[in-house]
Amino acid sequence: MSNELTLTSDFVKVLKERRSVRHYDPHVKISRDELKEMLELALTAPSSSNLQPWRFLIIDDQELQEKLLPIANNQQQVRDASAVIAVLGDLKSYEQAEKIYNRTAEAGFMSEEIKNAMIQNSVRMYGGLAPERLHRINQFDAGLVSMQLMLVARAKGYDTVPMGGYNVEKFKEAFSVPETLEPALLIAIGKAAQPGHPSSRLTVDEVTYWNEFH
Ligand SMILES: Cc1cc2nc3c(=O)[nH]c(=O)nc-3n(C[C@H](O)[C@H](O)[C@H](O)COP(=O)(O)O)c2cc1C
């Protein structure tokens, strides 16, 4: 019980301490193993039909970070952070349905019958959706995994900033993004050189309605 309480308060601390950090120590490099460890935890995020449409391009090469800089409005975190993680959505996510549901069934989490139905349904449904619909679903799921990644990073003592301020078309061109992948967000990750500035929030009452809008 006390363990649970400690974990809860730690989690609240992580939530409250995460801030968008825009000044990074350029000398800190996060190892690929550690980046993978953080991603692995972030991948526990929920997604539509568990199709996990997120894909990541991790840019940890200094030259490529410099190349990204003007594409991302010269935001200095792009150059100084340990890495920039581009989160993209796969418009062919349903092609992974078989792999995902087979894995789920093999682990004993799903019967063969349900597995087969899920594969068939998701391929039919998602495969039949207009790209704009799929794009919207993917962007939403990309947001969920991104949030998890930013919280995991904070829990491990790192800092992040999500960035929508970049030229998507130029990014696709510069990094030869395959046509089936649509960029959602860039996330700079590293060690803060300066803390992020505090920001305020609308209150619960200002953003919440009960049962009806008034
Ligand atoms: C979708 C999205 C796009 C954002 N784009 C940028 C950006 O391009 N550059 C930047 O410095 N911050 C960006 N931010 C960070 C927000 O400015 C920041 O989250 C907000 O001001 C609240 O501050 P906090 O993250 O420190 O709590 C973005 C945030 C989100 C969610």
**Are the C-beta atoms of 171 and 71 separated by less than 8 Å?**
yes
20 Cβ closer than 6 Å to some ligand 1 atom: yes
Residue 140 domain-assigned (yes or no): yes
pTM: 0.96
> Which of 140, 141, 163 should be mutated for ligand 1, with most atoms under 8 A from CB?
163
What's the structural domain count of the chain?
1
146 Cβ closer than 6 Å to some ligand 1 atom: no
Query: Stretch 99-112: mean pLDDT, rounded?
Result: 96
Residue 124 domain-assigned (yes or no): no
Return the pLDDT at 9.
79
Q: Which domain holds residue 66?
A: 21-95+131-194
Residue 210 domain-assigned (yes or no): no
Residue 205 domain-assigned (yes or no): no
Least confident of 5-19, 46-60, 67-81, 101-115: 5-19
At 111-151, the pLDDT tens digits run 999 999 999 999 999 999 999 999 999 999 999 999 999 99
The minimum-distance atom of ligand 1 relative to the CA of 72 is 8
**Residue 123: which residues within 8 A CB-CB, separation 6 or more?**
94, 95, 97, 98
Ligand 1 centroid, distance to 162 Cα (angstroms): 5
**Residue 16: which pLDDT band, with cuts at 50, 70 and 90?**
very high
Bridge partners, 90 (sequence order): 181
Residue 100 domain-assigned (yes or no): no
191 Cβ closer than 6 Å to some ligand 1 atom: no
Q: What is the CATH number of the domain that holds 186?
A: 3.40.109.10
Whole-angstrom distance, CA of residue 189 vs CA of residue 182: 21
Query: Stretch 47-73: mean pLDDT, rounded?
Result: 98
Ligand 1 centroid, distance to 184 Cα (angstroms): 13
Return the pLDDT at 186.
98
The radius of gyration of the chain's CA atoms, rounded to the nearest angstrom, is 19
Q: Which residue has the tokens 């340990």?
A: 82
At 141-182, the pLDDT tens digits run 999 999 999 999 999 999 999 999 999 999 999 999 999 999
Give 94's DSSP letter.
Answer: G
**Residue 1: which pLDDT band, with cuts at 50, 70 and 90?**
very low
**Residue 39: which residues within 8 A CB-CB, separation 6 or more?**
56, 149
Return the pLDDT at 7.
74
Residue 83 domain-assigned (yes or no): yes
Return the pLDDT at 4.
67
Q: Which residue has the tokens 């130029």?
A: 170
Which contiguous run of DSSP H or E holds residue 163?
strand 159-163
162 Cβ closer than 6 Å to some ligand 1 atom: yes
Average pLDDT, rounded, for the chain: 96
Give the residue from 122, 130, 23 showing the smallest Cα distance to 79: 23
Ligand 1 centroid, distance to 161 Cα (angstroms): 6
The minimum-distance atom of ligand 1 relative to the CA of 77 is 11
Residue 178 domain-assigned (yes or no): yes
Whole-angstrom distance, CA of residue 136 vs CA of residue 25: 35
Which residue CA neighbors atom 31 of ligand 1 most closely?
A: 162
Q: Using alpha carbons, list the distances in angstroms from residue 4 to 7, 16, 18.
A: 5, 18, 21
HSE toward the beta carbon, residue 201, CA cutoff 13 A? 6
Residue 179 domain-assigned (yes or no): yes
Q: What angle, 0 to 180 degrees and rounded to 10, lies between the N-to-C axes of helices 131-155 and 2-17?
A: 110
